[in-house]
Structure 1
Amino acid sequence: MSELSDIRREYSLGEMHSEDVPNDPMELFSSWLEIVKNSEIKDPTAMSLGTVDTSGQPFQRIVLLKRFGNDGFVFFTNLESRKAQHIAENSKVSLLFPWHTLEKQVAINGVAEPLSKTEVLKYFMSRPKGSQIATWVSKQSSPISARKALESKFAEMKAKFAKGDVPLPKFWGGYLVKPTSMEFWQGGENRLHDRFIYVKTVDDKWQRDRLAP
C-alpha cells in the first residue's frame, strides 16, 4: 500500500478577516469566482454535485455552473439521468467548488428545483450544435455496449439534423439550486484555516458565523 501520510503543503495565499467578509454570501461568491476566472484554473465553473438515492447512498459527480444569482445556482442535465432520478426523490443536494490551487473552496447545501422550459430552451439554443446533437445521443447513466455505439449514433443524428435546427429533447432540462447554507474556506498557515458559514434563517435572511478550522 502506498504511503500518503507525508504528503502535505503549507497554505499561505490568503486570509479572511471578519470585517472584510460581506453579509451577503452571493457577493463573496461572485468576488471569489472572478478571482478564479482570472487565474490559470481550468474549468472555473466546475462543481461537484452531491445527491442521495432512495437507500441513502450518496453520489457525487462534476457538473458545470451555468448561471448564479440571488435566487441560486443553475446547471443543466439529462432528466433521465441518475442525478435527476435522485432529485425527483430527494431534492436536497450539495455543491462543492474545489478551487484548491487558490486555497479556496465553497460548499453549498440547498434544494434543487426544475427550471422552466423557457429557460431550458434559451440555454439549449445557445449551445454549439455538436453539443445539442450529443444531447440526443446519450441516454445518460444507462449501460452501453461500446463507445463505437455512441459514435455511430452521433453520426446518425448529425446527418438527421444537418440542414436544420436541433430541437430540444423532452428529456433534457435543468435545475436551480436554492442555497440554505454556504460555507467559504480559505487555507491558512499551520492549518489555521479561515471558515465562514452563512445559514438561511426563517425570515429569508443570512446568518453569518466564523467556524473553527
Structure 2
Amino acid sequence: MIDLAADPFDLFAIWMTQAEASELNDPNAMTLATTTKDGRPSARIVLLKSWDRLGFVFYTNLESRKSDEIAVNPHVALLFHWKSRKRQIRIEGIAAQVSDAEADAYFETRPRLSRIGAWASDQSRPLPDRRLLEQRLEQEIAKYADAPVPRPPHWSGWCVTPEAIEFWEDRDFRLHDRAVFISTSTGWTASRLYP
C-alpha cells in the first residue's frame, strides 16, 4: 500500500530508482500534456532531465508547439508510466522557464551532435523535405567544426512545480492502489482514491 504519511518527493525518488533498475528504455520518459489557447489538449513524450523539491525539468525548443502552449497556459500535467513495474505517477503543476545558467549547464552535457541539431531544427514547424534538415545539419557541423557549440537563444528548459502528485499501483481485479498528495500553504496533504 502507498504510504500516505510519506513525503511525495521521497516516494517519487524510490519509484524512479526502481524504474531505472527495471525499465529497458528511458525510465525518465514522461507524457507532457498542455493545452492550446482554445483549450484543446495536446500531449507528447519528453524526458525528465532533473528534479528536486522545486520541480521536474525537461528541455526543448522555446519555439516548439509545447513551449507556445505553455506560454499561453502554464498549467501542465506530467505522466510517468512504468509498465514493467505496473505503476504510474501523475503530476499536475505550473511550468516556468529555467534560468539561463541552468539551461547552459545542461546544454553542455548533451552530445555534440545533439547540440548542433538544436541549431539546425525548427522544431514543430513544417519540414518540406527531410533533405533540408540534413543540409542544415551539415551547415551547422561545418560552422562549429573548430568551435564550441553555444546554446541557441531559442533552446531552454521548463520546470514544472507540482501542485498535485498522484501515485497509482496495479492490483488484482482492477482494485488498484491510488494516493494523491496535494500541495498546500503548510505542506502536503494526502488521501487515498477509489480505483
Could you state the TM-score of these two structures normalised by the residue count of structure 1? Answer: 0.89
Q: How many residues are matched?
A: 195
8 Å contact from structure 1 (residues 22, 28) kept in 2 = no
Change (3 A) 1:212 1:147: same
2:164 aligned partner: 181
2:6 aligns to what?
Answer: 23
RMSD in angstroms over aligned alpha carbons?
1.0
- Match in the other structure for 1:136: 119
Q: Take 1:181 and 1:107, find their aligned partners in 2: how far apart are those partners?
A: 8
Residue 156 of structure 1 corresponds to 139
Mapped pair 1:104 → 2:87: yes
Deviations 1:132-151 (A, max 9, x none): 00000111100011211111
- 1:84 equivalenced with 2:84 (yes/no): no
Q: Match for residue 57 of structure 2?
A: 74
Check whether the contact 1:23–1:206 (CA below 8 A) recurs between aligned residues.
Answer: no
Work out which of the residue numbers 129, 151, 170 in structure 2 matches 1:146: 129
CA distance in 1, matches of 2:73, 2:149: 32
Question: 1:69-116: CA deviations, max 9, x gaps?
Answer: 111100111000111111111100000001122100000000001111
Residues 135-187 of structure 1, C-alpha deviations (whole Å, 9 max, x = no match):
00111100011211111111111111010100111101111100000000000
Q: Is the CA contact 2:22–2:84 (under 8 Å) kept in the aligned structure 1?
A: no
Structure 2: how far apart are the matches of 1:23 and 1:169?
40
Structure 2: stretches of 5+ with no match in the other structure: none
Q: Deviations over 1:28-73 (max 9, x none)?
A: 0000000011114311000000000111001001110000111110
Alignment of 1:5-84 (within 5 A): 16-18=1-3, 21-84=4-67
Structure 1 residues 26 and 17, CA, compared in 2 at 3 Å: closer, same or farther? closer
Matched, 1:210 2:192: yes
Structure-2 separation of matches of 1:161 and 1:106:
40
Helix, strand or coil for the counterpart of 1:175?
strand
C-alpha distance in structure 2 between counterparts of 1:84 and 1:17, whole Å: 34
* Cα distance, 1:202 vs structure 2: 2.9
After TM superposition, give the deviation of residue 22 of structure 1 in Å.
Answer: 4.3
Find the aligned partners of 1:113 and 1:154 in 2 and give their Cα distance. Answer: 30
Compared with structure 1, are the counterparts of its residues 158 and 192 closer, same or farther at alpha carbon in structure 2 (3 Å cutoff)? same
Question: What is the TM-score when the length of structure 2 is the normalising length?
Answer: 0.97
Q: Would you say 1:126 and 2:106 are equivalent positions?
A: no
Identify if the C-alpha distance between structure 1 residues 17 and 64 changes in structure 2 by more than 3 Å, giving closer, same or farther.
closer
Amino acid at match of 2:161: K
| Contact residue 23 and residue 82 of structure 2 kept, 8 A | no
Aligned counterparts of 1:41 and 1:129: Cα–Cα separation in 2: 25
